[in-house]
Amino acid sequence: MSVKAQVIVARKLGFTSHQNAVPLLRELILHNESEQAFQDLTLHLQTSPAVLEAKQWKIDRLLPNSSVDIRERDVKLNAEWLSELTESVVCEVTLCLRHGDEELFTECYPLEALAKNEWGGEAMVELLPSFIMPNDPAVDRILKATSDVLRSAGKNEG
């Protein structure tokens, strides 16, 4: 069988990924490099542990020497599970293509699920501003402490 997947999966995600609708799947293309046509295929996606709800795509047909670009790649992240993480967890994303009971391929991809207060670094640079919390009670405490210091030094608070 010469059916392959071209997949780009996020390397890291966390609760902030859910809050900002960051996609887990950036690219999902199936390539049939054989001379055989396939019909009624099912592509299964799941993670272990369950970072997201399992997802299935029905593929009506995959013609010989052709590709199918799956553009509907939204998957529902498990927000409750992500919000309760206190440290990062190594996960595995599994993609399996089936034709009835026959498995055409299974591919696994690593994924790091981050704790709610962890940032993924360069892999998640666009999410850094989401960690700014101007309404956090700690901000009020810092402002009050700063005001007290200025007042005791004889400076104007305004």
Beta pairing partners, 77: 52
- Model pLDDT for residues 32-59, shown as the tens digit of each residue: 999 999 999 999 999 999 888 999 999 9
Instruction: Domain ranges for the chain, please list them.
Output: 3-118
Distances from the Cα of 122 to the Cαs of 59, 128, 146, in angstroms? 35, 10, 33
Question: What CATH number is given for 3-118 in this structure?
Answer: 2.60.40.10
Q: Which of 45, 50, 65 is nearest to 4 (CA)?
A: 65
Q: Is the pLDDT of residue 123 over 80?
A: no
Average predicted confidence (pLDDT) for the chain: 85
